[in-house]
Amino acid sequence: MNRIDQAFKRLREEGKKAFIPYVTAGDPDMAVSKEIIGAIADAGADIIEIGIPFSDPLADGPTIQRAGDRSLSGGCSVKKIMNMVKELRGSICVPFVFMTYFNVILSYGIERFVADSLKYGADGVIVPDLPLEEAGMLIKEGAKQDFSVILLSAPTTPIDRFKKIAARSRGFVYYVSLTGVTGARKTFSDKISDNVKKFKKVTSMPVCVGFGISKPRHAAEMAQFADGVIVGSAIINVIEKNMGSKKKMIKDVGKFTKSIARAVHGVITEN
């Protein structure tokens, strides 16, 4: 049982939901990125998604695209991110999940990527541009090394396809709340709740909702029916607003993520 499974086991025992924040590694630079992840962990994150930037991020909206551009412009690389995770792992026990595109993994080498991710302290990966039909090699390698390959579903995913996705996903299933790219939203479809509840009836795998969630009240609403809540662009927005003061940036990111964590953890379910 890796750290992701342990986290959900603990949360189930406590009757709580998972808060899963996302940040792009190397944004605004590697040193500050490391401090930001530390602040997010201290704020109450249950799992932390760490984005490995890619030059053609098809699932990402303008906010995370800019974060990726800043990171790549600063010389960020997969190896540097691995080393950062290794340093963070010395003081942070929450699971780390990479989020990146398949070209990055393929260029690095599938077997090597999984092995190095584990060796340096990561527990899983999310690959937005890798459909179920093409994910076999990565899933097989992940299963061999107890590394979670987390698959995605969408509002347009039929129930039969979701069953196949859930059967092969490890850690959790990432439910994309909307048909579109990442980015903070003000409103959400009423169908999200119905879809997640429908999907949860056919799997014991945790189902976590992401894309567009930007406020504590949004997070609390999603936590009513999902097993976890993923927040990314809203955190990147806080980083962008504080480019003039890295000290304030880290403080404000910690404050914001703590407000989301409290909202998610305040939704208690019966065991």
Annotated active-site residue 141? The verdict is: no
Strands lying side by side in the sheet with 148-150: 148-150, 124-126, 96-99, 48-51, 18-24, 228-231, 207-210, 173-176, 152-153
Q: Going by DSSP bridges, is the β-strand pair 152-153/173-176 parallel, antiparallel, or unpaired? A: parallel
Measured CA to CA, the distance from residue 5 to residue 183 in angstroms comes to 28
Report residue 95 CA to chain centroid gap.
Answer: 10
How wide is the angle at C-alpha 47 spanned by C-alphas 68 and 25, nearest 5°?
20
Which residues contact residue 230 at a Cβ distance below 8 angstroms, ignoring those fewer than 6 apart?
20, 21, 22, 49, 174, 208, 209, 210, 211, 213
Do 177 and 155 form a contact (C-beta atoms < 8 A)?
yes
Catalytic one of 5, 27, 46, 60: 60
Do 187 and 222 form a contact (C-beta atoms < 8 A)?
no
Q: Give which of 183, 188, 182 is closest to 59, Cα–Cα.
A: 182
Annotated active-site residue 123? The verdict is: no
Catalytic one of 5, 27, 46, 49: 49
Q: Which residues are catalytic?
A: 49, 60
